[in-house]
Structure 1
Amino acid sequence: MVGQLGGTIRLLGEPAILDADGRSQPVRGHQAWALLARVLLARTPLDRRALAVELFPETVDPLGSLRWCLASLRKALNTSDCLNGDPIEGGFADDIDIDVLRLDRDDFDIEAAGPLLGALEPRCSPEFATWLLVERARIAGIVEARIRQESIRAMSVEDHGRATRLAELGVRRNPYDESAHILLVKSLALAGRYQAALDHVEATEAVFMAELGEKPSAALRSAARRTISSPPSGISRQAFVTSLMQSGLAALSAGAVDAGIDCLRRAVRDAEKHKDAQLTARAMFELGTALVHSVKGYDDEGSVLLRQSTELARQAGNAAIASAGFRELGYVEALAGRRPSAATYLAQALELALGGENLAGIHGVIGFNLVDWGRLGEGLDHYALSLEHARSAGNRRREIWSLGLGGWGLLAADRLEEADRWLEDCLALVEEQRWMSFRPWPVAVLSEARTRRQARPDDLRPRLEEAFALSCQMNDPCWEGAVARALALTYAAEGAFVPAVEWLGEARRRCMRDSDSYAGLQVEILASQVDVNLKLDRPEMADAIAREWLALAARTHRDAHVARAAAFIARRG
């Protein structure tokens, strides 16, 4: 039997099957929806017997229950041509609209997307409960990344109504996520609703203090600001803006971050008054990049400026600025674990790239995103391309960055000797270029590589302790977390699990201090905490952390960690 054409399967929010005329079709039992979600989201067809045991663990005849649910779903869909075979194939008609398969489509209604299976909690096996936890976290991460991406894009094209509506949705979904509040405040400020922006800042600070015990960072209030400046008489506005950018970048290079950011903010404001798209694009790019790399906690405001710069640069025909802006946007998304969004931005950067130095940066960030995604071979290939382009262009800092982060990728691939060589080369270049603010990262990763190769922990700690002190002096939560974790691993390697767990606690606290911390490192810290707590015979603590590990790994697309954490939880049962 072939049913009528069209129809909808909705699994994000309250599940439903609708016919071509929009009428809801009855489906009995939570297990039927669990079955449909399991089949639709499976990467390969599912074995009937294994699926029956997973969905109906307490049933006398699991296979019979599975057949009944499959039949009820086919009836609701008015077709016999799907959900057949062993293993079970979906086989859905092309004209059926299935929301969970359209998350990456431009026409997907992101505002209507709820949690996978809504509030349903099917009574199935522990294996299914773990699968559902992972998929809910993964899909929530995709939806929230799309909301963020669309909100920032709406701001960049001055669609203020949509930007504010999407930002409000982001806040409703995550009321204690500072990034979501920053985007809402920025959308209100860009719409000229300055009082509303300030009111939201005040309300958010009060809620955070009452519920979390601390205020959000200064980035929230900064997003509501209005920068006002006027050029001195006698010079062109273009010359004034250029001088402000040069002064700002020089101040940043000298470590005067506040002065540098202030100069760049003034440059953006005056460029906007000049109504020169190319000049404004460049000023917004420089300020956005500075906020991302030089000021902790300001990635969200930086992303808005970077997205505005790409729109203006494309309008002005400046592919270089547009490409660089998309590269930096890709870096922000990759750092936060929003990997599909990062891949989209980086593909746009690559399409607009002019060559050489631009390609070195883009391939480096693509490698960074892919390695943490678990696609190690592809990621390391991009790091190799990045190094090739950086060396051809003579860009030592790009070379340092790709050696340091590429060494992290080689460590993930268990290629420890290569990792050691890359990281030693990285540290030699850091010394040559005096880029001391980057030094803690390769020191931490090299220490982990050597710990895994049974180096003496006492030989590794002096350099790690120096790197930790440097990280603290720079107030860099990512570097502090990375070095603290590396120190913990040296103690764990010699069986000193009490100091190891203490250092891991420090690593986690420091790494998560700001809203724009490195999600990939957070996942590694959680994994290490589970391992060390087990060795300390603290199974309850290990189990609790494992659930956080699994949820964060799923949300940030750390697929290898999802498998490890799920297997650990299944073993603990």
Structure 2
Amino acid sequence: MLARVALSERPVGRVELSEELFDAADDPLGAVRWCLADLRRCLDRPELFRGDPLVVPREAIWLDVWALWDGVLPVPEIGGVLLAGVEPRNCPRFDAWLIVARGECAARGAAELRQAALRLLAAGDARAAAEPAGRAAGLDPLDEDAQELFLHVLVAAGELSTAAARLALCEATLVREGIRPSPALRAAVTLPAPLPRIGVRAGRVAAALLRAGRAALDAGSVDAGVETLRRAAEEAERSGDLELQADVLRTLGSALVHAVRGFDGEGAVVLHRAMAAARRAGLPALVGDVLRELAFVDLQAGRHALAERALTEAAGLAEQAADRALSAGILGARGMNRADQGRHADAAGLLAASAELAGAVGSTRQAAWSHGVLGRSLLLAGRTGEARAAVERSIAACDRERWNAFRPWPQALRAECLAGEGNIDAAQQDAEEAFALACELGDPCWEGMAARTLALSALRDGDTDAAQAWILDARRRCDRVPDRYVWVSSYVGLAQLEIAARCRPDLVGTLATRLRADAIRYDLPEFLAWALVYQAQAGDSSGVGVARSLAWNVTNPALHDRLAAIAV
């Protein structure tokens, strides 16, 4: 009962607790009263657990799970199972809640271990980083991000033979599960060839290579640009110039995250090194910029609490440096983070502010990006006309900037808006154009978004075979790299459920289970609530109460309408 009340995002009513924990008792509410009295006695806190509904003030008691949530639980204590050994009998509604809560704690623990390892590695203490990195890798052998980080740590610690053995084990495990290992895993244990020394000061060499690397990236020569930046990073380290080193590492880390598919893990390692150098050099704006980049990596991977923590610090640094362009980027990332968790009303305010500020300081691409992500939240919040206006502003800015790399996102969203307004032909054209451009770019997320729209278009036309083929293709495309944008993957999964409900009802239970697992792991309450709705449709209504609790902070009228229609 303590866990149930303490981990709820809203006050929990006594009737709700009685139904979850004591439904079979002769006097369910009496059992609740007795349990609360015993809690007060055990804690020696007679003033707690009074009234209805119930809350536990954070300042009243210390709980390990709260310390984990706040990022202050000591590393050796991270990784346990919530309520280990506690398995209440004949409590299906509580069991449904416990599955979700245990999954959320496990995901948060893995994220905190990863963060601890990255901090220690960036500080140059690879041997100390091996403990949290190894524990994170041990929690889930199929988590390629955790395995890759452990390999980076082992190599940095000089444990090359151990790293090679670990790589072989990782690859064998993944292949056995039908997963193709990503190139980033093998790259993590590949040592770069030593560079010949040039008879010029290292700082000058690094600065020249930095310019050349940036020019190559701007010209679209990603591989050449990244390799040049790697050399620049080596020379910058030799130079001892912390400001130059931070600048080079920030550029390299950003390129690995945004320009190279599947290398977010290495990008995070490099960005943490950049942040350490920028802190030592006393460069608050650069630290804030790196924090924003790291937050982007985390939010794409579903580590929303870590992303919010980084963005909070970054916002203070941007204000300290009076960097309005950076502030616009941070507002946009915060909006995206809230949107991924279904908090679309909050997200819309942050993203609108980001777009306005970006426009004021001439950051056209940031404005385009913020308007594009704003359109998603407005669409899911049921504000279709406003959503279309936002994505059309994004598309217009992309065209002015010739920024094709982002254009498929707002165009796929405009297709959804147009379909919602009944303009089917225009929606189909937009979806096809977005898909073609996404394929030309080779962007898995944009391909998945556009293919999802085409699947739903086929469903509206009554072509169920085409709908099923398109949604399977969308799933294959968006999941083909391990560092995919997990929100898009789950968005595709939700459309897959919608199509199955119309075409293959026998698959609804299996697909709902998969979406539920992904939503728990990646902290996506909106999709978790939808998964539990479809689970109820498949005959298991034990999770409806959890879905309603999750929907408390989700701004999605369609979800609320579906929940209201379910009788439990």
- For normalisation by structure 2, the TM-score amounts to 0.88
Q: Measured at CA, do residues 233 and 56 of structure 1 come closer, stay the same or move farther in structure 2, by a change above 3 Å?
A: closer
| Equivalent in the alignment of 1:439 | 407
Higher alpha-carbon deviation: 289-298 or 466-475: 466-475
Distance apart, 1:477 and its partner CA: 0.9
Q: Is the 8 A contact 1:323 1:348 kept in 2?
A: yes
Higher alpha-carbon deviation: 306-315 or 120-129: 120-129
| Equivalent in the alignment of 1:361 | 329
Aligned equivalents of 2:390, 2:236: Cα separation in 1: 42
Aligned equivalents of 1:122, 1:330: Cα separation in 2: 38
Aligned equivalents of 2:13, 2:329: Cα separation in 1: 44
Aligned equivalents of 2:240, 2:119: Cα separation in 1: 20
Percent sequence identity is 37
| Equivalent in the alignment of 1:246 | 211
* Corresponding position: 1:288 with 2:284: no
Counterpart amino acid of 1:161?
R
Equivalence map 1:480-495=2 (5 Å): 480-495=447-462
Aligned equivalents of 1:346, 1:121: Cα separation in 2: 38
| Equivalent in the alignment of 2:528 | 562
* Deviation sequence 1:487-533 (CA, Å, 0-9, x none): 11212223333322221121112111111111111221122222221
| Equivalent in the alignment of 1:26 | none
* Corresponding position: 1:216 with 2:181: yes
> What is the SS of the residue equivalent to 1:42?
coil
| Equivalent in the alignment of 1:474 | 441
| Equivalent in the alignment of 2:478 | 511
| Equivalent in the alignment of 1:56 | 22
Counterpart amino acid of 1:264?
L
* Corresponding position: 1:465 with 2:432: yes
Counterpart amino acid of 2:29?
L
Aligned equivalents of 2:43, 2:285: Cα separation in 1: 50
Q: Is the 8 A contact 2:257 2:267 kept in 1?
A: yes
Aligned equivalents of 2:199, 2:293: Cα separation in 1: 36
* Corresponding position: 1:124 with 2:76: no
Q: Is the 8 A contact 2:141 2:173 kept in 1?
A: no
| Equivalent in the alignment of 1:419 | 387
Counterpart amino acid of 1:261?
V
Equivalence map 1:191-210=2 (5 Å): 191-209=157-175
Please point out which of 496, 508, 522 is paired with 1:529: 496
Q: Is the 8 A contact 1:268 1:280 kept in 2?
A: yes
Q: Is the 8 A contact 1:83 1:91 kept in 2?
A: no
Q: Measured at CA, do residues 92 and 264 of structure 1 come closer, stay the same or move farther in structure 2, by a change above 3 Å?
A: closer
Q: Is the 8 A contact 1:443 1:463 kept in 2?
A: yes
* Deviation sequence 1:381-401 (CA, Å, 0-9, x none): 222222223222322222221
Q: Measured at CA, do residues 257 and 52 of structure 1 come closer, stay the same or move farther in structure 2, by a change above 3 Å?
A: same
Aligned equivalents of 1:269, 1:233: Cα separation in 2: 12
Q: Is the 8 A contact 2:271 2:290 kept in 1?
A: yes
Aligned equivalents of 1:450, 1:301: Cα separation in 2: 39
Please point out which of 410, 415, 423 is paired with 1:455: 423
Distance apart, 1:138 and its partner CA: 1.9
Aligned equivalents of 2:350, 2:51: Cα separation in 1: 40
| Equivalent in the alignment of 1:502 | 469
Aligned equivalents of 1:75, 1:47: Cα separation in 2: 21
Distance apart, 1:40 and its partner CA: 2.1
* Deviation sequence 1:288-334 (CA, Å, 0-9, x none): 00000001111111011111111110111122221111010011111
Higher alpha-carbon deviation: 326-335 or 198-207: 198-207
Aligned equivalents of 1:187, 1:70: Cα separation in 2: 47
Q: List runs of 5+ in structure 2 lacking aligned partners.
A: 541-568
Q: Is the 8 A contact 2:376 2:413 kept in 1?
A: yes
Higher alpha-carbon deviation: 458-467 or 367-376: 458-467
Aligned equivalents of 1:217, 1:263: Cα separation in 2: 23
| Equivalent in the alignment of 1:328 | 293
Distance apart, 1:548 and its partner CA: 2.3
Aligned equivalents of 1:552, 1:377: Cα separation in 2: 24
| Equivalent in the alignment of 2:560 | none
* Deviation sequence 1:219-267 (CA, Å, 0-9, x none): 1121223334546644321121112122222222222221111111111
Counterpart amino acid of 1:394?
G
Q: Measured at CA, do residues 91 and 272 of structure 1 come closer, stay the same or move farther in structure 2, by a change above 3 Å?
A: closer
Aligned equivalents of 2:169, 2:147: Cα separation in 1: 11
Q: Is the 8 A contact 1:81 1:92 kept in 2?
A: no
* Deviation sequence 1:426-450 (CA, Å, 0-9, x none): 2222222222222211111111111
Aligned equivalents of 1:91, 1:201: Cα separation in 2: 46
Equivalence map 1:127-142=2 (5 Å): 127-142=93-108
Equivalence map 1:168-207=2 (5 Å): 168-207=134-173
Counterpart amino acid of 1:56?
F
* Corresponding position: 1:399 with 2:364: no
How many residue pairs get matched? Answer: 535
Distance apart, 1:71 and its partner CA: 4.7
Aligned equivalents of 1:228, 1:283: Cα separation in 2: 19
Distance apart, 1:375 and its partner CA: 2.5
Q: Cα RMSD between the aligned structures? A: 2.2
Q: Is the 8 A contact 2:416 2:427 kept in 1?
A: no
Aligned equivalents of 1:364, 1:93: Cα separation in 2: 32
Higher alpha-carbon deviation: 190-199 or 478-487: 190-199
Counterpart amino acid of 2:420?
R
Q: Is the 8 A contact 2:295 2:311 kept in 1?
A: yes
* Corresponding position: 1:148 with 2:96: no
Aligned equivalents of 1:265, 1:451: Cα separation in 2: 46
